[in-house]
Structure 1
Amino acid sequence: MTLRPLAAVAAFTAAMLAAAGPARAQAAHPCATDAVAHARTLLAFHFGEDTELSVDDTAKAVGTVKALQGEGRFDVLEVWGFIYKAEYRTHFLYAQIPDTCALMGQEILEASDPY
């Protein structure tokens, strides 16, 4: 049985992808642990120290934003937090300075539909 050239390429590509196995996990951002700690602190600041809250133990890099001054950029790390039935998305902006976790900004937003 002979395969047409395009079918042969498709079969070869499928075989190579199957042999490759699962993709490698993306390396964690160097400031991920710092962002998780700040998420807990930020939620406690807004809702009180005695509030029962939980925070995901992972921070996800969701992109970069331009610095307000100069040509620099900030990495944006996202951490989800939970208080009772409410979910909160927190973002932490870190300066792209090697070997440091210079926190430059933070935001918190409740994930709900107010309308």
Structure 2
Amino acid sequence: MRIRSIAAATAVVAALLAGPAQAQTPHPCAGDAVEHARKLLAFHFDEDTPDVSVDDAVKSVGTVKALRGEGRFDVLEVWGFIYKAEYRMHFLYAQIPGTCALMGQEILEASDPY
């Protein structure tokens, strides 16, 4: 019984150590999402606003079903900052190989209004 628990613990430790070592390949539209994030912040706020920045780290947060048809959209998340405010932006890209067809976008301020 003890040998099984040691083997199981060893397998768990090996999986944990191997996980971070495997680098996730960036989404092909990650650069496009960062570019659109800058434009989206500029659209919602004055372009001359000081202290505007966009994080270059793009996170793939899954997929959503298209409103029509059977297709799905990849959802990429980018964070933007204006002074002390943080904004989470999602960009929805059609799953068409070799293209970055932007199908939708959203921006939400990360704050507690209550």
Query: Shorter-chain-normalised TM-score: which range?
Result: 0.7 to 0.9
Against the structure 1 CA distance between its residues 15 and 78, is the aligned structure 2 distance closer, same or farther, given a 3 Å change threshold?
A: closer
- Bigger radius of gyration among the two: 1
1:87-102 aligned within 5 A = 87-102=86-101
Normalised TM-score (structure 2): 0.87
- Aligned residue identity for 2:87: Y
CA RMSD in angstroms comes to 2.1
Residue of structure 2 aligned with 1:26, choices 16, 24, 30: 24
Q: Which consecutive unaligned segments of at least 5 residues does structure 2 have?
A: none
Which aligned segments of 4 or more residues in structure 1 are displaced greater than 3 angstroms?
14-22
* Counterpart-to-counterpart distance in 2, 1:30 and 1:21: 22
Q: C-alpha distance in 2, partners of 1:19/1:76? A: 28
Residue aligning to 1:36? 34
Q: State the identity as a percent.
A: 74
- 2:77 match: secondary structure: strand
Unaligned runs of 5+ in 1: none
C-alpha distance in 1 between matches for 2:74 and 2:16: 33
Deviations 1:49-76 (A, max 9, x none): 1112000011110011000000000000
Q: Would you say how many aligned residue pairs link Structure 1 and Structure 2?
A: 113
